[in-house]
Structure 1
Amino acid sequence: MAWRRPPGAGVGARGALALLALTLCARGARGRALEWYSAVVSTEYVDPQTNRTVWSVSESGRFGDSSPKEGAQGLVGVPRAADRDPEGCAPDTSFLVPAPGGRGTAPWVALVARGGCTFKDKVLLAAQRNASAVVLYNEERHGNLTASMSHAGTGNIVVIMVSYPKGREILDLVQKGIPVKMTIGVGTRHVQEFIGGQSVVFVAIAFITMMIISLAWLIFYYIQRFLYTGSQFGSQSHRKETKKVIGQLPLHTVKHGEKGIDVDAENCAVCIENFKVKDVIRILPCKESLRMSRSCPLQNRPLEVFWLQI
């Protein structure tokens, strides 16, 4: 016998999914968004061996959090003691700015390494030396990556970060006395969303609640299924016993002119049709008679059904 799912099955699952959707779409589940801008870095210098101009343009920089998002340009300057203090943190740090043809060095861009002091200290020191922009290159262990920089209170000076390989490439040229002109442009706007601590707690609580509701629904569902299946097996057992009792009833064949049975007057207690000669009937304990056939010709239903109802 095929088992049929009781009405209402699946409602709990749909409710749990709806709760999860509401949880993920809730305002509290959204974290803060981090917005930052990439920087287009262009360098230009004359190769002393070939006397040819070498150009390089790439969107490899990243603007600082407090930096104005605007362009800047100038000759690159590095700390004079770049081998000992490439970070440019010492108060007496001075910058070497090679200039073509011995011309003045303004405007110029300070190139310093990350570390040694805060971003803010580096930027303020370079600004005191009249730098028009500050370029920090990342640490070697970070490879080609850049990072966000917090340097509030540095004014309107442009601040960007480039990768370690890019910074070292420019630093080596300047240390050789080769003038390098750098142009900084505004690149692509990026928005990075992440979940805060409070949002994680909110989502965790909502998820646990959803799991509790789902577990409660599953328990109720399987209890209902067990009871439903048990009732079906009980009905089958009862029907078998009924068939057995019916099979034990005495049989009798109707004959014409038989004493005690008037064919024209007697009828079946179930289908209420007159008996016919040669009909095989069952004699009930109450002395009523039923046809031997297992179905009533009037109702077209099994006689066991009527017996169960009685």
Structure 2
Amino acid sequence: MKKIFGTLMVILISQLGFSQNYQSEFQKFCETNDTINQLKTLKKWQSENPKDAELFTSYFNYHFMKSRQEVLALTTDQPNGESLVLKDSLNQNAGFIGSQIHYNQTEVKKGLDKIDEGIKLYPNRLDMRFGKIYALGQIPDWTKFTAEILKTIEFSDKNNNEWTWTNNVKQENGKEFFLSSLQDYQVQLYNTGDDELLKNMREIANKVLEFYPNHIESLSNLSITYLLTGEYDKGIEPLLKAEKINPKDYIVLGNIAQGYKLKGDKKKAFEYYEKTAEYGDERAKEYAKQQIAELKQ
């Protein structure tokens, strides 16, 4: 029995060694953008250890990096980042030449298929799930981006946030880390400035609250989706729930005040700006005092 156990240990250590060697080799070729040797490494790695978790993430990275194509484009609107300004005969801006990022959908699909295989084998690997969500946000495909977030929220309840990360290392403070990361995705949707995506934010917030009803950030996110569309009562309602959970959360209090101000309820707005001034940091106190002074006019 001891001999068999010892043999198994040797095999496991040997496989781990192979994984780490291939992983570092692949990373080295990524740094030099050597896609030919990246693929050679992946194929050797697959023949040695086809179910290695890091093999799936590496294949995903390979295909997604390969899908990214940067091209120069002539536009009338100034693009993000550096650009060349074109002038007309009157020295007026006539256009801009800048880089635009496009994604080859065939390569993107190959990458997503690989990470899906990995998630199926290693459902607790949060880096795989977040990697997929990141890619969907870059393309961007906001419908699938949102659907993948919802799916991950549902699974967080099943695995009790017992997440792992690269090399199957346990993610400490799994619940807190998971929920804070979701907030980044909500900000990403908000920063698009596309009002159509408010419904995506609302869907995510509601799904979080289904499993984590006291998550103040999601109550606030839900509120924003209504306040921005002029549905002030619906926007104030989740904020009042958040206030009951933490009566001294000055961000929540300030948002309630703003909601009442937008609604035209000066008395309630005044009340909550006073609470914000009482519990807020210096910046919040100063802002609340300015708002109170305006309401008194």
* Range class of TM-score, shorter chain: under 0.3
Higher helix share: 2
Higher relative contact order (CA 8 A, sep 6+): 1
Q: Which has the larger radius of gyration?
A: 1
Higher strand share: 1
TM-score, scaled to structure 2: 0.20
TM-score, scaled to structure 1: 0.19
